[in-house]
Structure 1
Amino acid sequence: MLYLVHALLVISFWTSTRAAPHISRRDVGPLYGPSGEPSIQDVEQHHDDCAFVATVMSITKRSPSFIKSLITFQGDFNAVEQVTVRTFNPDSLAPMDQVVTRDDIYLGNDTRTEIWWPGAIYRAPQNAHTANSFDNVGVPVMGVNEAFHLITGLISNAYYPHNQNDFWNIIANAAKTPIVLQTVGDGAVTLWGGHAYAVSYVSEENGVKMVGVINTNGEESLITHEQAYNDCYCLWGLDGNPTLVEGEAPPASLPRVEEETDVQNVEDGRTTSTRGDGVIVVQVGFPTPSHGKYTTPGATPAVTPRAV
């Protein structure tokens, strides 16, 4: 049975779980698929960690090479049994390298198939004790901001669009930079409520604007930007709008926080500001140690996301 929970910035997709066995050697295949690259088709949510899964998917969709750069090993990816995974300390953003073996991977480590790079990404922060786990099989309580910090070592922003035009101007940049859509807890019509989606596609033709989103169960939907906006609580992206692809410039239209005006609140590493067009931007810096290791992340600043 599935339970959808929406609490502040933390999005959780709760599932009934039990301790999962290790994947046996006969069940574990290559590190990557035939292409030799990470793919979003390798990832599937198994636990209450939709924010983490959606973030992994958004980065993988935009830049498989970036995900691949986090994993180093010797030998052939078809037969490797040990890798070194780089994630980042969410408190300091300092890099952390952890050795992960195939025998460390559990059936529930959000791997869709026998391909085990997603399990390696999940196990590394647990081995480094910078992320909680549920029965050692997942990363349950983590917001999109923490997930972006953990995987990229970069600061993230939450954007609260004021109207459909603002929403489109932000989400359209998903063609160049990873974007995660967080849905409203109540009142979602097209998408699941209190959930996180990786934005995979945007298009505008003859005045029709479309948005593609990937659910953490692997299903991809193509919806109008009005449908996406109506179900949107906020959009998450990386500060500075990096493409995470070497040599590519970031999109120019997604505003940086230092270009914002009217700073409303600076608290718990979160700087809230409002642009002249009404878009509220929350820059999420380093999570404070007093929040623990993501058992109780900081509260959302008191802002009004958009006009009704």
Structure 2
Amino acid sequence: MDWDRLRIFHIVAEAGSFTTAAKKLHVSQSAASRQVRALEESLNVVLFNRHARGLVLTQEGEQLFRTAREVMQKLETAEQSLLEAKGAPRGTLVVTTMISFGAVWLTPHLTEFVRRYPEIDLQLNLADEDLDLAKRDADVAIRFHAPHQADLIQRPFAKINHHIYASTDYLKRKGVPKTPEDLDHHDIITYGPTPPEAIKDINWTLTLGAHGRQRRPVLQVNNTYAVLQAIEAGIGMAAIPDYLVSHRKGLVRLLPDIDGPAFETYFVYPQELRGSKRVGLFRDFIFEQVRKAGNIM
């Protein structure tokens, strides 16, 4: 099998069109198309169904693409390892985690890392859904649940604590609840309409002190940072992670003797990156930041 043709096929399959792939390859569209057609002829299979809206992999094309992607990822990993072995850590490191945690806690804690390791091209890919580390959508993940894939390395990272918060303006208008039963008379904001699978009891304020009933929320928001914004706007009160409010003014913790559920987070990366200097440096650095953060998580 011609490796150059396989490389071009891989890029075309990722791009979904010859035009986009040709730009990445710095060749003409017809040249890219000819190389893929030659690969199809050498294998005696059709790899793409051509449509007006783009290219769709056939079953044979899907099979070859999976293999090509694995090969390219292993080559990239080997290249990065060779570069790291020569001296200072360098190369791309893609880190993913939930949007709110990445935006509010993780990003501000990366200042010293990017100064300390200027040759590492650090990228944050924030998403509330899990990116596939096995497919190398990212190199490292900080997840709010234990990973399901057995071939991933995982370490407990930090415990996230939840408490009830409200703005001072809201409390002036509605009063301060003294008991869980007092929540019946307050406006409650929740995560929703569908709670995340890993944190099923995130909306515990709806049942706290309700004696078997479930309160009706005044607002449901499907992003934790947006819940914080709603609290600050005075719409109501909500249970949110403590890391969101560590440096916020004008927010009051309510029912301070009552703790919400605590959720374990995990630092996760693929087996093939076990020896990566970039991953090791980032792991050690970010665990150091958690230790410094203490109980604000």
What's the TM-score once normalised by structure 1's chain length? 0.25
- Which structure has greater strand proportion? 1
What's the TM-score once normalised by structure 2's chain length? 0.26
- Which structure has greater helix proportion? 2
